[in-house]
Amino acid sequence: MKAFEWSAASSVEDAVKLLAAVAADDPDESPRPLAGGQDLLTTMKDRITRPKRVVNLKTIPGLDRIQFDPAGNAKIGALVTLHQLESDAQIRANFPGLAEAARSVATIQIRNLGTVAGNLCQRPRCWYFRLENVICLKKGGSQCYAATGENKYNAIFGGGPSYIVHPSDLAPMLLALGATLSITGPNGNRQLPLEKFFTTPRGGDLTKENVLADAEIITEIQIPDSPLANRSTYLKFKERSSLDFAMSAVAAAVELAPDRAVRQARLVLGGVAPIPWRVPKAEAALIGNPLDDRAASAAAEIALAGAAPLAQNAYKIPLTKALIKRALTQLKS
Ligand SMILES: Cc1cc2nc3c(=O)[nH]c(=O)nc-3n(C[C@H](O)[C@H](O)[C@H](O)COP(=O)(O)OP(=O)(O)OC[C@H]3O[C@@H](n4cnc5c(N)ncnc54)[C@H](O)[C@@H]3O)c2cc1C
């Protein structure tokens, strides 16, 4: 690990000042906020990230709370851990899919330390990206080695020129629930729908996965209490049953009318694209129909229609279809 300066922030404003105070020409050397450290420290040990300064956010009071306003909207502090999320009674009752997504992450030890904002900002798990000596496209190199190399775990949607998949289990579910982020930076505060947070390799800076500017930090995640919220689920397929990242995952949320027809639907795929991948045509196909096997199968076919698999990952197409069907079937009862 490269030597770095350690600072402990006393407030959000202090954290932003500490992050903004150190200039770095190389983006991999920019100061970084540290939450649970589960991902940042690994990338530092592997020299993928070499920040000149690390700013500990865990010393900021008040960012570790889950709160609900009288209308039932949730406000989740950036430092809330995945374990807090999965075990909070009101989250489990009002946003069951979110509790399931949190519970699907790794092990209890990792969920005890890993935070919500850190989970959204974690770096990709592509083998080539994680290998210290491989300078792939995302690390400023000229080639995505996964495109023609080992690509079993890589993208079937939204790939090119890089084929990473986004590793977060919370991201697809939070997107399905219509979450918004509160962000603070040197230019003040901003609110950003999660839908606008993640960037595809083609649509943004290739070396990043989101639109956070230098010295900006996420302070809170808000989730509206919509009619979709309590009929939500998260299904994840992983290669190892113990702990693993998603080979494919589905976040689904629906609102049913009194006649049981679908009034609203949100379907977001995980583990298949560089960003959580919403499938609006499949959502639209569900509207107005009863949530039966036929509707679920039709939505699954539509959702995967545009997939462009690489040499080793076409299995993700039938796998993801099966997850969509299973998730929708679960939500009808
Ligand atoms: C063995 C292992 C298995 C895992 N399996 C899974 C899995 O199956 N599914 C899954 O979703 N995740 C998985 N993870 C990832 C784990 O959930 C994340 O590493 C963790 O949630 C990151 O949270 P953290 O608080 O530790 O973040 P950190 O490691 O502290 O930070 C991660 C990144 O986020 C940035 N950051 C942190 N907080 C903020 C903030 N408030 N604002 C802006 N930027 C911020 C940091 O600068 C850093 O770039 C796994 C991790 C390990 C080590």
Average pLDDT over every residue of 167-177: 98
Q: The pTM is what?
A: 0.98
Strands 53-56 and 32-34, bridge-based pairing: parallel
Which one, of 53, 3, 43, 51, lies nearest residue 27 by Cα? 51
Strands 262-270 and 66-68: unpaired
Pairing of the two strands 188-193 and 32-34: unpaired
Q: Is the CB of 316 under 6 A from ligand 1?
A: no
User: Is the model's pLDDT at 28 over the cut of 90?
Assistant: no
Task: Report d(CA 66, CA 92) in Å as an integer.
Answer: 12
Query: What's the token pair of residue 301?
Result: 């076919």
Q: What is the pLDDT of residue 303?
A: 98
Look at residue 222 and give its three-state secondary structure. strand
Predicted confidence at residue 26, as pLDDT, reads 84
User: Which pLDDT score, from 0 to 100, does residue 148 have?
Assistant: 97
- Indicate if ligand 1 lies below 6 Å from the C-beta of 35: yes
- What is the pLDDT at residue 27? 83
35 CA distance to ligand 1 centroid (A)?
8
User: How confident is the model at residue 204, as a pLDDT?
Assistant: 80
Please work out whether the CB of residue 51 comes within 6 Å of at least one atom of ligand 1: no
Choose which residue among 63, 108, 122, 218 to substitute to test ligand 1 binding: the one with the highest number of ligand atoms within 8 A of its C-beta.
122
From the list 97, 89, 86, the residue with the least C-alpha distance to 232 is 97
Minimal CA–CA distance to 291: which of 267, 262, 263, 253? 262
Cα-Cα-Cα-Cα dihedral sign, residues 267, 85, 222, 124: negative
Percentages of the chain per state (helix, strand, coil), in multiples of 5: 30, 20, 45
Question: What pLDDT sits at residue 159?
Answer: 96
CA distance 165 to 124: 7
Domains plus CATH for the chain?
232-331 (3.30.390.50)
Is the distance from the beta carbon of residue 197 to the nearest atom of ligand 1 less than 6 Å?
no
Amino acid at 224: P
What are the pLDDT digits (tens) for 228-282?
999 999 999 999 988 999 999 999 999 999 999 999 999 999 999 999 999 999 9
Q: Is the CB of 220 under 6 A from ligand 1?
A: no
